[in-house]
Amino acid sequence: MFLSSSVGALGVSLSLYILFRKWQFRQRAQGCSLPPSRPARFLLGHALEIPTENEARVFQQWAEELGSDIYYIDAAGTPIVVLNTIELANELFEGRSAIYSSRPGSIMMNDLMGWDWVMSNMPYGQSWRERRKLFQQHLHPSNRGIYEPYEQEQVNRLLARLLDDPQGFLTHARHVVGGLALTLGYGLNVKAHNDPHVEVATAATKAVTDAAVPGAFFVDFIPALRYVPEWFPGAGFQKKARIWKGMMEEMRDRPFEDVEAKIASGIPARPNFVSAAFDKLDPSKDVPHQRQVIRDTAGMIFAAASDTTTSVIQTFFLAMVCYPQVQRRAQEELDRVLGGRLPEVKDEPDLPYISAMVKEVLRWRPATPIGIPHLSTSDDIFKGYFIPKGTIVIPNVWAMLHNPEVYPNPDEFNPDRYLKDGAFDPLVRDPGTMAFGFGRRTCAGAHIAESMLFLTIASVLSAFSISKPVDENGKPVDVKPEYNRGIISRPVPFESFITPRSAEVARTIRNLQESDSA
């Protein structure tokens, strides 16, 4: 009886809350209408229709159905606006950055799972600025000497792992990225297999990217549900949040505490972000606060790289399986320019086709197909439409990067689309202007990611041939580009056949491996 009464009272309270929210919007609309929208239910609006897989493609289809590149979703009283073109995204996130630079306060992800410390999730304000400033002080694009040697080291290790275990290429991609993040952030080395830091980061970031999908958890639309106890019917999200929060804390705190202990005991460590930040710590100011900012910024380096860059490298392997002609063209350029040696970052200006491949990998299957949502911090009138304060604004990056007017035959992997007469065509939009975010919230580490992608792609294709797997009869097996759900998209595990291009390159990799372990 008590349980039945509690459920009924909760239902009435939630209904009144939703009605009040909608009444507020109408009062503030100043006679303007909301953007175009699909037919909605009385209370829930479109909450039950919001996709939890293939979100970007569904959002693109809705734009086509409505005949509008901007439209409105009512998620049980929570306003959502979806943008499907780069022009609209730039008008809001660049031209009106004072209003559209914040982030939604996800109850599930930030409050229950504890991810409110990550710079990409933070609202625009002092805490965000502190962490971004600290990152740029140490890892600015001009400080190439800090991160490029570590990139070279990790890529050399990737080549050795591919030589020893070619079938583990998807796992090796995680380790090369995790290795760079751990070394750069903390001065720690990654174990060759099943590194505990990398494994917990993989589990923790998978959980948070699943939780970040708009509509994945109803508590994000009806915040009062956060107070429902774990034992209450339908409150299974509370148990998930508790388990996932433990993963997050281990990922963020364990490597930080490891390097902090080394600093305290005077054990010499490789140059790294945490040590450098502690060297510049101001003892006259709030030391615990400064420590927290350092910890959070280092954790952001680890978390961001562990998922997005890993996804892009795995997509590169998938593209090479599906488009062998692109691989041959790339290897022709590498052989002609390098003459058989392995590439270095400094070779990038002489390898335009490889650089174009980096752009196409970012575009073809973007790691964040719907982008990280922004939040409006005041009421706004945009193109005659009313956008209420507190609106979640989603940039549909997939639609932007698969616009056939900008990228003809967008489903085809074609690096040539960026080149004209052997040089970059300035008339073709760089996918990085969309793949790495917008306005003030553009990814602070985009330059490191692109540099790492170039070196990885150039090195792997210099050393190895990647082809379709074969069946028991030795016949090639087709591989379809399939991706999982989540705000960060990863290829569904697939097979490939990876072999060294020559005995000489295999010896070169072995020599690199021996010098690395010496």
**C-alpha to C-alpha distance for 81 and 392, rounded to whole angstroms:** 6
DSSP assignment string, 145-171: HHHHHHHHHHHHHHHHHHHH-GGGHHH
Q: How far is CA 494 from its chain centroid?
A: 21
Residue 186 three-state SS: helix
**C-alpha to C-alpha distance for 334 and 347, rounded to whole angstroms:** 10
| 220, 107 Cβ separation under 8 angstroms | yes
Q: Tokens 């970031």, residue?
A: 205
Residue 391: partners with Cβ closer than 8 Å, 6 or more residues away: 79, 80, 81, 375, 376
**C-alpha to C-alpha distance for 187 and 175, rounded to whole angstroms:** 15
**C-alpha to C-alpha distance for 65 and 79, rounded to whole angstroms:** 20
Supply 11's token pair: 């239902």
Supply 311's token pair: 């996804």
Q: Of 392, 387, 388, which Cα lies nearest the Cα of 372?
A: 392
Amino acid at 111: D
**C-alpha to C-alpha distance for 484 and 391, rounded to whole angstroms:** 27
Question: SS3 letters for 20-56?
Answer: HHHHHHHHHCCCCECCCECCCECCCECCCCCCCCCHH
N-to-C CA span, the chain: 72
Binding residues: 443
Burial (Cβ within 10 Å: 0-12, 13-18, ≥19) of residue 485: middle
Residue 475: partners with Cβ closer than 8 Å, 6 or more residues away: none
**C-alpha to C-alpha distance for 324 and 387, rounded to whole angstroms:** 47
DSSP assignment string, 68-127: -SEEEEEETTEEEEEE-SHHHHHHHHTTTHHHH-B----IIIIIIS-GGGSTTTSPSSHH
**C-alpha to C-alpha distance for 332 and 461, rounded to whole angstroms:** 10
Binding residues for heme: 443
| 121, 115 Cβ separation under 8 angstroms | yes
| 155, 173 Cβ separation under 8 angstroms | no
